[in-house]
Amino acid sequence: FRQAFPSRSMSSMPANVRIFEVGARDGLQNEPEMIPADVKVQLVDMLSRTGLKAIEVTSFVSPKWVPQMGDNTEVMSRIARLSGIDYAVLTPNMKGYEAAVEADAQEVAVFAAASESFSHKNLNCDIATSLERFAPLLEQAAKDGVRVRGYVSCVVGCPFEGAINPSAVADVTTWMLDRGCYEVSLGDTIGVGTPGSTGAMLHELIMTRGIAADKLGIHCHNTYGQALANIYTALQMGVGTVDSSVSGLGGCPYAPGARGNVATEDVLFMLDGMGIETGVDMDKLLEASLYISDYLGRVPQSNAANAILAKKKREQAESGNK
């Protein structure tokens, strides 16, 4: 599926982009050492002060499968929720949804794959079955007034099947939107996408199937260093929501070889340079990035963060020598 796609003009790019921060959930869920709830709460609170408008906090999955998220209720009860910010959680089924609502979640997310093999590996069922399992959840959320976001994994490539037909992505996305998801995030789960394959996929959804670009988000992993290029391609197609993870944290346990999500700092640096408004303060974002990176004992997995921090350190040294 390497066909060329008609590019759209720069005028199609959104003037404002919503950065959907996934570091506290997608970023931390696979960390091998258990992270205290205190650290997670502090991270979310620091992210809340950056100007971000959407933060995924945790997931309500069985601690048997994702033990790192076993403190979900505690974390949700302790974060300082600021007005104007959507605090979302991942819910794989009705049990998870009910627990999330009990924890006062105002937004939940459901997930499916565009790859049959990945669906079987991740959800132990085929795509159609995985979607039907979400139907009762979506119906209940509509009654409860809870917003639902959809995630589609493996939108351009699968670790088990290889290239994914864009029509499969469109089918899953359409199903989610038709049943009440306010937005669907398109995930390049193993980071194999390029502007060519990403553009072809988006062309199928937006131009061929008629799905509104403002109903879509883009979620890129940076395995092959293509994340920013793919995000730029999505912006050209009119997509105005970008998922990213502070300090480039995270990956997918079911995708062999997958590295971290694209770093929020790198996305913000690019968008700022393009004159696209996000409302996010880089300095405050760097504080959050350093906080969680220091706790984990590693440097931020962000080119922009490391460059900016090195520049500040150099300027401080030069100032001290005067």
Catalytic machinery residues: 252
Give the distance between the most distant pair of CA atoms in the chain. Answer: 68
Q: What's the chain's Rg over C-alpha atoms?
A: 19
**Is residue 248 within 8 Å of residue 261, measured between CB atoms?**
yes
Tell me the DSSP string of 187-202. EETTS---HHHHHHHH
Q: Which residues pair with 111 in a beta bridge?
A: 151
d(CA 160, CA 216): 25
CB atoms within 10 A of CB 101: 18
Q: Which residues pair with 217 in a beta bridge?
A: 185, 241
**Is residue 114 within 8 Å of residue 105, measured between CB atoms?**
no
d(CA 322, CA 319): 5
CA-to-CA separations, 37 to 59, 112, 234, 255, in angstroms, rounded: 13, 28, 35, 27
CB atoms within 10 A of CB 60: 25
Q: Give backbone dihedrals phi and psi of 220, rounded to 5 degrees, phi first.
A: -110, 135
The enclosing H or E element of 150 equals strand 147-153
Tell me the DSSP string of 70-84. TTHHHHHHHS-PPTT
